[in-house]
Structure 1
Amino acid sequence: MGSRAAMTAFNLVLATGIALGAGAAGAEPATIWDDPHLSVIPRTAKEAARIAAVTAPTTDFSKPESFETNPAGAATVRARTDADAFSQPSGNIEFARELDFKLGNGLFKKLWVSSPSSTLASDGLGPVYNARSCQRCHLKDGRGHTPVDASDDAVSMFLRVSVPATEQDQMTAIEAYLADLGDTTPRTRPEPTYGGQFQDFGIAGHASEGRMVIEYTVEPVELAEGTVVELRRPTYGVADLGYGAMAEGTMLSPRVAPPMIGLGLLEAIPAADIIANADPEDADGDGISGKPQIVWSAEFDRPMLGRFGWKGGNPTVRQQSAEAFAGDIGISSPLVNRPHGDCTTAQDACVSAPHGDNDDRGFEIDAEGLDLVTFYSRNLAVPARRDIEDPTVLQGKQVFYDAGCTSCHTPKYVTSRLNDQPEQSFQLIWPYTDLLLHDMGAGLADNRPEGRANGQEWKTPPLWGIGLTEQVNGHTQFLHDGRARSLLEAILWHGGEAQSARDHVVDLSAEDRNALIEFLESL
C-alpha cells in the first residue's frame, strides 16, 4: 500500500492507462483524476504533508488513534440505539440547511403514483418498476435484503440484465473512450426486451417483467479449530416473464441496496488520492491490483472516476440518484430523461403508456427536486464508533491489519477543501474503502462486465456503520447479493485478490477471529 501511495502522477499514467487526452466522444483533454463535480480549494504543500502524516497506516494497536471515534470527522453524529441510526443529518450541518435535508428526506420517502393522476407532483411511476420510493429499497437509509419467502414483495434487491455486445453494436461514448485507451474488457448491452434492469412490479393494467428466483446450495467451510461454517451459494433465475423469453446468453447480476450513509464524504475524496492506490498490474508485487472504474458523466459530458454502485457505475451522488429514479421507479429527471424508465421499444404498451412529463415540471422529478434528494443523500450522517478503547476491539483491529484487509479497505482519507459544501469540506474520515475495482474470485463472480470491471471484479464497499446493520435493518445480510448471513460468512466468500486475507482469517485462533468480528461490529 505504501509504495502505491507514493507513486508519482507520471507513473500513474503509465500504470493505469488513463492518460491525458480527449476520448473518441470528444471530451476535452483532462485527467481522469480531477474533480469537476467539486468546487475545490487547492491544497497547499504544508497541508499535503499534514494529510500524508495523518492518513499513514498505524502500527500502534495499544490504543485508539486520534479522532478515530469520529469516522466522518465533524460530520459524525452520536450513535443512536434505535433503527434511525442512519437517518440523521451531518453533525456539522448548519441550521438553515437542515430544511433542505428534511425536504430531500420527504422526496426520498415519497410514494410515487401512476399517470395520469390528480397528484401531479407525484405521478409518473413505472410503468414497470422495482419500488415506489427510494426508501423502499434503502430501508431506513440502510441496507436491503433478500426475499424472506416466495410471497415477499418488500425486498430491496433486483437483477441487472444484459447480453454480450456484438461487433455491429454502436459503441457508447465511454466505451469509445476506453477503447482508445486500450481497454479490452468485454462490452455488454441491455437485454433487447427487458432492458438493463429487471422490474418485478407493474402499474395497474401493465404486466410486471416477471419475478426473480433464487436457489441456494450449502457449502461448508472448516476453520482452523474445527468449527464448520455453512455458506449459501445462490443461483439466480427469472420466472413468470411478462414480455416473452429473454435473449439467449442473457447475464443476470443481483444487486442489494447498499447503505446511504457518508456518500457526500466519499464523493469529496480527491480523485487523485483514490488513483494513488491503484496498481492494476500489481507493480509492487503484493497481490493486490485495484483499478479505477471510469464512467461517462451525463452531467459534465466527459469521463470521470466511478465511485457509486457495486461496480462503481456512477461518478457522483447526483447521477447515482437520477439513474436510480429512472431504473428503480421509472421517474425521469433533467439528468436521465426516461419517462418510461427502463422500458424498451419491444414493450409497446409500456412505451405508449401515459407519463408524468406533461405538466409544468417538465420532468417527473424536476431539477430542484433532484437537487434536494442529492443534498439529502450527501448528508446522511455516519454514526460515531463504539467501544474503540475495548481491548478486544483493539486486538481485532490489529488482526484486520495483519490479515492485509487494509490493502483494499483503506482506513482513512482527508476530503477536499470545498467552497460550497461545508459539511464535507476538509474532514478526516474513516470509510475503510479504496473505491477501486478488485478481482474477488470465482465464488463472488457475476460473470457480467460493467465498464472497466470484468465479471469477477467489484468495487470495495465502505465498512463504516456495518456493525449497526442489524439494529437499523433487522438482519445481518452482506455482500452485493446478501448471500452472507454474518460478517464471518462475508469474509469467507472473499477470493481472488483477497484470498490470502481470507485464508489468514480461516487459520486464526477462535479468540483472534472473534476479536476481528468485534472490531468490525464497532465500525
Structure 2
Amino acid sequence: MTTTRNTVILAAAFWSCALPLHANGWGEPHLSIIPRTEAEAARIAAVTAPTTRFDAPEPFETHPAGKATKFDALNRNAFSFASANMSFERELDFKVGNGFFRKLWVTAPASTVSSDGLGPIYNARACQRCHIKDGRGHPPEDGDDAGVSMFLRVSIPDEVSGLNAEALSYLANVPEPTYGTQIQDKSIAGVPAEGRMQVTYEPEVVTLGDGTQVTLRKPTYQLGDPAYGPLHPQARLSPRVAPQMIGLGLLEAIPEADIMALADPEDANGDGISGKANRVWSEEYQQWMLGRFGLKAGAPTIRAQSAGAFSGDMGLSTPLHPDAWGECSAVQTDCRAAPDGSDAPEHVEVSAQVLDLVTFYSRNLAVPARRDLDAPQVLRGKQLFSDAGCQSCHRPKFVTHRLTDQPEQSFQLIWPYTDMLLHDMGEGLADNRREWLADGREWRTPPLWGIGMTKTVSEHSFFLHDGRARNMLEAILWHGGEAEAARETVRQMPAVDRAALIAFLESL
C-alpha cells in the first residue's frame, strides 16, 4: 500500500469517532453555497417534478445545462466547448486547463521539467488520450488495439485482506497485493508494464416481444502477460471505459440534500427501486462526503477524480496523491526506484495550480443543446421512457445550488437524467467488487445528457461501463436487478415504440 493508504488506515479510529455518519448527508465543503429560502425550495420542487404531459416539450427543456448550454456546435468538437455563460476573463483559465488536459507527459529526467515524471507505469500519457475529444472511450476492437481509453481495476475481497472492519471502511476497496488498484499496461524504459487486458466475448441471444432476435456480447476479462507474478487467487478485475466529460461541474453543484431525498436503500415505498448514496472518504477535506463521480460514485469531487487519474492513469504525483511512483506497489521495487519529476517547492509532478486548472477545465465542459425535442416521435419516446419507469433512476431535472464563486454552475435548471445514486443492475453487469458502499452489483446511474452525440463526437456507439453494448438497445437489454422491469417493458415493445424510445435518447 502507498504511504497515503497507510496514513488513512492508522487514522481510521480517530476519524470514525470524530465524523459520525449523518442521516441526511455528509456536507459539501467543496462548494460556497448561498442557502435557499423556503419559498425558493418550494418553487424548485414544483419545477423539477416529473412531467405528466408529453404533447410538447417542457419549458427550458431546450437548455439541458441551463445557461451553460452550448448551441450551434453539433459537430465532433461538441463536447469540448466552455460553459456558454462563462465570462471572457474566465475563459483564459479554461483554455490553459485544456492545454494541461491535452499535454503529453514524458519520462523524467527531461529538459522539459514541467512535463516530466510520467509513470513509471501508466495507462496513457495525457488525459485527452483516454477522453478523446472529451467523449467516451471504447474497448479494444481487435488484437492490435491497445485499448488506451479502457483499463482494468483490480482489488481483493475484504475478507481475505487481514484488515479489520474499521480500517476497511476507510478504503474504497482492498488493493491487490502486487498490482494495486488498477492494471497499468504501459511503462517507461527499464520498468516492465504490469500486463495487458485480454477480453473475449460470448454471444447471448435475446428475443424481443415481436420475435426479433438481438445478439448481445458477454465479455470475460483476464490479465495477460503479468510481469510481476500471478494475481491473488481471489483478485477481482473490473473494466472501465473512460466516460464523457461534459456537465461535470453542474453535477457537482446539485445539492446533496436533493440527491439524498431520492435515496430509498430499503425500498420503503415498494416500487422495486432502492437507490442508495455512496459515502466516500475525502483526502482533501478529511471527512466523509457524498460520492458523485466515477462509475460507482467513488469520488466526491472533480478535483479528487482528476488527482486520482493523474496518479493511477499516468503515474503523476499531486498534492492529493504525493507518491511520485503513482500506482507502483511495495513489491515493485524497480518501479518505485525509478527517477521522478517532482519539483520544489511542492515536491510533486503536478502542482496544485495545474491540478486546479485541469479541474476548472473539467468542471466547465459544456453540454450541447437538445435536438428535435419537439418531433412527434421524440415526444412519444419521452412518454415511453417515463411509462417504462426509466426515469425512476434517470431523473430528468435538478436545480443547482446558488454559488458565490462558480457563476457558470450557480442556480441552473439542468436535465442530466441521473439520480447520482447506486443501483443494483443485476448479475449480468456485476463486477463482484465493492467501491466504498457500492457492492459488486451496484453502479451509479450514468447521466444521459449528450448520449445522442456519442457517435458524432467519439465515432462509435459503445455503451455501458465496459463498452460491451454496441448501441442503445443493447445497453437497455443488459439492464437487470432494479431495472429488470423497465428492461422487460422495452423488450416487449412493438418495433415502432422501440424506435420512438431510441429517437428520444438520441435527442438528449
TM-score, normalisation: structure 2? 0.95
How has the CA–CA distance of structure 1 residues 408 and 174 changed in structure 2, closer, same or farther, with 3 Å as cutoff? Answer: farther
Distance in 2, matches of 1:412 and 1:335, equals 32
* Residue number in structure 2 paired with 1:81: 74
Q: Secondary structure in 2 aligned to 1:190?
A: coil
Listed as ranges, the matches of 1:19-418 within 5 Å are 24=16, 26-27=18-19, 32-166=25-159, 169-170=162-163, 175-176=168-169, 188-360=173-345, 362-418=347-403
User: Do 1:281 and 1:289's aligned partners in 2 also have CA atoms closer than 8 Å?
Assistant: yes
What displacement does 1:430 show? 0.2
User: Do 2:156 and 2:235's aligned partners in 1 also have CA atoms closer than 8 Å?
Assistant: yes
Please, which moves more after superposition, 27-36 or 430-439?
A: 27-36
What displacement does 1:171 show? 5.2
Q: CA RMSD in A?
A: 1.6
Kindly, what percent of the aligned residue pairs are identical? Answer: 62
1:255-309 residue CA offsets vs partner (Å, 9 max, x unmatched): 0000000000000000000000000000000000000000001111000000000
Listed as ranges, the matches of 1:470-489 within 5 Å are 470-489=455-474
The one-letter amino acid paired with 1:77 is K
1:359-379 residue CA offsets vs partner (Å, 9 max, x unmatched): 455210101000000000000
Please, which moves more after superposition, 484-493 or 336-345?
A: 336-345
User: Do 1:120 and 1:359's aligned partners in 2 also have CA atoms closer than 8 Å?
Assistant: no
* Residue number in structure 2 paired with 1:10: none
How has the CA–CA distance of structure 1 residues 438 and 87 changed in structure 2, closer, same or farther, with 3 Å as cutoff? Answer: same
Structure 1 residue 493 corresponds to structure 2 residue 485: no
Distance in 2, matches of 1:154 and 1:162, equals 21
Distance in 1, matches of 2:379 and 2:136, equals 26
User: Do 2:66 and 2:414's aligned partners in 1 also have CA atoms closer than 8 Å?
Assistant: yes
Structure 1 residue 456 corresponds to structure 2 residue 441: yes
User: Do 1:25 and 1:176's aligned partners in 2 also have CA atoms closer than 8 Å?
Assistant: no
1:413-457 residue CA offsets vs partner (Å, 9 max, x unmatched): 000000000000000000000010000000000011111111100
Q: Secondary structure in 2 aligned to 1:158?
A: strand
The one-letter amino acid paired with 1:157 is M
The one-letter amino acid paired with 2:18 is G
The one-letter amino acid paired with 1:448 is R
The one-letter amino acid paired with 1:293 is N
User: Do 1:278 and 1:292's aligned partners in 2 also have CA atoms closer than 8 Å?
Assistant: yes
How has the CA–CA distance of structure 1 residues 28 and 248 changed in structure 2, closer, same or farther, with 3 Å as cutoff? Answer: closer
How has the CA–CA distance of structure 1 residues 25 and 132 changed in structure 2, closer, same or farther, with 3 Å as cutoff? Answer: farther
User: Do 2:161 and 2:174's aligned partners in 1 also have CA atoms closer than 8 Å?
Assistant: no
What displacement does 1:34 show? 2.6
Distance in 2, matches of 1:174 and 1:492, equals 38
* Residue number in structure 1 paired with 2:4: none
User: Do 1:129 and 1:199's aligned partners in 2 also have CA atoms closer than 8 Å?
Assistant: yes
How many aligned positions are there? 494
Task: Find the partner of 1:503 among 488, 493, 500.
Answer: 488
User: Do 1:28 and 1:302's aligned partners in 2 also have CA atoms closer than 8 Å?
Assistant: no
How has the CA–CA distance of structure 1 residues 52 and 287 changed in structure 2, closer, same or farther, with 3 Å as cutoff? Answer: same
Please, which moves more after superposition, 24-33 or 35-44?
A: 24-33
1:332-352 residue CA offsets vs partner (Å, 9 max, x unmatched): 111111211110011010001
Structure 1 stretches lacking a partner, 5+ long: 1-21, 179-186
1:21-42 residue CA offsets vs partner (Å, 9 max, x unmatched): x951633786634311100000
What displacement does 1:153 show? 2.4
1:390-421 residue CA offsets vs partner (Å, 9 max, x unmatched): 00000000000000000000000000000000
User: Do 2:151 and 2:183's aligned partners in 1 also have CA atoms closer than 8 Å?
Assistant: yes
Q: Secondary structure in 2 aligned to 1:194?
A: coil
What displacement does 1:150 show? 1.4
User: Do 2:218 and 2:468's aligned partners in 1 also have CA atoms closer than 8 Å?
Assistant: yes
Distance in 1, matches of 2:104 and 2:386, equals 44
Distance in 2, matches of 1:197 and 1:504, equals 37
User: Do 1:326 and 1:342's aligned partners in 2 also have CA atoms closer than 8 Å?
Assistant: yes
How has the CA–CA distance of structure 1 residues 23 and 402 changed in structure 2, closer, same or farther, with 3 Å as cutoff? Answer: farther
Runs of 4+ in 1 over 6 A off after TM superposition: none
What displacement does 1:358 show? 4.0
Please, which moves more after superposition, 396-405 or 162-171?
A: 162-171
Distance in 2, matches of 1:462 and 1:36, equals 23
Distance in 1, matches of 2:254 and 2:344, equals 39
1:189-214 residue CA offsets vs partner (Å, 9 max, x unmatched): 11111110100001112111010000
The one-letter amino acid paired with 1:204 is A
Distance in 2, matches of 1:329 and 1:502, equals 38
The one-letter amino acid paired with 2:313 is D
User: Do 1:174 and 1:295's aligned partners in 2 also have CA atoms closer than 8 Å?
Assistant: no
1:446-504 residue CA offsets vs partner (Å, 9 max, x unmatched): 01111111110000000000000010001000000000000000000000000000000
* Residue number in structure 2 paired with 1:520: 505
The one-letter amino acid paired with 1:451 is W
TM-score, normalisation: structure 1? 0.92
The one-letter amino acid paired with 1:238 is L
